[in-house]
Amino acid sequence: MDVYFDKAIALCRRAGFRRLTLRGDTDFSQTKHLDRWDQPGDIRFIFGIDARENLKALAEGLPARAYSVLVRPPQYAIQTKPRQRPERVKQEIVRLRKYETIHLLEEMVAEFDYSPVACKKSYRVVVLRKRLGIDKGQLRLFDEYRYFFYITNDRDKTAEEIVFSANDRCDQENLIAQLKGGVHALKTPVDNLVSNWAYMVMASVAWSLKAWSALMLPVSPRHAAKHAAEKRTLLRMEFATFCAAVIQMPCQILRSGGRLIYRLLSWNPWQGMFLRLVERLQGCWLF
């Protein structure tokens, strides 16, 4: 695996990137290479590391004040009107049949320095401690602690930010997921390779146009925080949501006084963002 990391590092450096981040789960934490990646100074890494007994002992030996509660941010920066959810019948069935269930009660984070056997220097280890409730029917059997560890050479981010960064999906993974399930670029609907290739390219262009529209979205200084959040949300928005919010917007087209008038027939929370994008496109239109 280290060979592919080295190839990616070399490629990004040739492209002009000055800061690189390597990230992966426990399968990627090859401790014998950490010193080599840390030495140049332009590489930051965040890897999951197996919850071995020695790490658990270090985490359990930390004083209580070393831990702080982890509060996860909302999934989306912009919240639409909450929808009425169907009744959750599965939990009631589980309770009545007295199945054993696990519930997350709280998450807490702490950190300590640790030097893996294969390393000559110490690195920062962030520990995520989850307190779980083990229930059977309506009876609480016991509470259980589970530990998750992340090793990093990043000393600037908070422990919470390290956990969030490690838990995030890579943007390339999001892209592959959207090409599969969003624009169906990998559906291969026809019977020959060339036609399926053309279909994949055309569907990928649709996704690229969505990303391009997000990058073109202007951010005004007066509402910088709000507009930046909208821009990021649009960039990461699933394609089905983008179609419903922006593409499939009901509109009446009128011709009056030699002009075309587009009259929006309904409102949705994305219209302000859409109108700012239209204004930006009109301002940079190329004839």
Number of compact structural domains in the chain:
2
Tokens of 285: 């239109």
**Host domain of residue 139:** 2-79+90-166
- In terms of domains, do 17 and 146 share one? yes
What's the CA gap between 154 and 159, in Å, rounded? Answer: 10
Of residues 172 and 5, more confidently modeled:
5
Last residue of a domain, one of 112, 136, 166: 166
Whether residue 241 is contained in a domain is answered as yes
Residue 284 has what pLDDT?
Answer: 67
Q: How far apart are CA 285 and CA 287, in angstroms?
A: 6
Taking residues 33-51, report their average pLDDT: 92
Question: Any idea which of 72-81, 85-94, 242-251, 266-275 has the lowest mean pLDDT?
Answer: 72-81
**Helix, strand or coil, per DSSP, at residue 120:** coil
Q: Which of 166, 189, 214 is the last residue of a domain?
A: 166
Identify the CA nearest to 214 among candidates 274, 271, 284, 174: 274
Provide the β-strand partners of residue 41.
none
Over range 199-215, report the average pLDDT: 88
Q: Is residue 85 part of a domain?
A: no
Residue found by looking up tokens 């998750």 in the block: 148
Same-domain pairing of 151 and 214: no
235-271 per-position pLDDT tens digit: 888 888 888 888 888 889 998 888 888 888 888 888 8
Domain assignment of residue 84, yes or no:
no
Shared domain for 178 and 161, answered yes or no, is no
**The pLDDT of residue 37 is above 90:** yes
Do residue 150 and residue 251 come from a single domain? no
Same domain membership, residue 225 and residue 109: no
For the stretch 158-204, pLDDT in tens is 999 999 998 887 767 778 888 888 888 888 888 899 999 999 999 88
- Whether residue 31 is found in the same domain as residue 123: yes
For residues 111 and 204, state if they share a domain: no
Q: Same structural domain for residues 25 and 123? A: yes
Q: Rounded to an integer, what distance in angstroms lies between the CA atom of residue 169 and that of residue 165?
A: 8
Residue 13 pLDDT: 92
Residue 23 and residue 160 in one domain: yes
pLDDT of residue 149: 95
User: Which residues have CB under 8 Å from 160's CB, separation 6+?
Assistant: 68, 70, 71, 109
Tokens of 89: 């019948």
User: Which pTM value belongs to this model?
Assistant: 0.65
Residue 221 maps to a domain: yes
H or E element in which residue 164 lies: helix 159-167
Q: How confident is the model at residue 2 (pLDDT cuts 50, 70, 90)?
A: confident
Per-residue CA distances from 269 to 4, 83, 261 (Å): 43, 14, 22
Has residue 195 been placed in a domain? yes
Do 162 and 209 share a domain, yes or no?
no
β-strands 139-152, 251-256 pairing: unpaired
pLDDT of residue 287: 45
- When pLDDT is averaged across residues 206-225 and rounded to a whole number, the result is 87
Contact of 110 with 62, CB cutoff 8 Å: yes
According to DSSP, residue 244 is labeled: I
Closest CA to 277 of 216, 236, 233, 226: 216
> Does 199 share its domain with 115?
no
| pLDDT band, residue 89 (cuts 50/70/90) | confident
Domain end among 166, 194, 209: 166
Per-residue pLDDT reduced to its tens digit, 111-169: 999 999 889 999 999 999 999 988 887 777 888 899 999 999 999 999 999 999 988 87
CB 135 within 8 A of CB 166: no
- Do 178 and 160 share a domain, yes or no? no
| pLDDT band of 60, cuts 50, 70, 90 | very high
Task: Give burial (CB, 10 Å; 0-12/13-18/19+) of 166.
Answer: buried
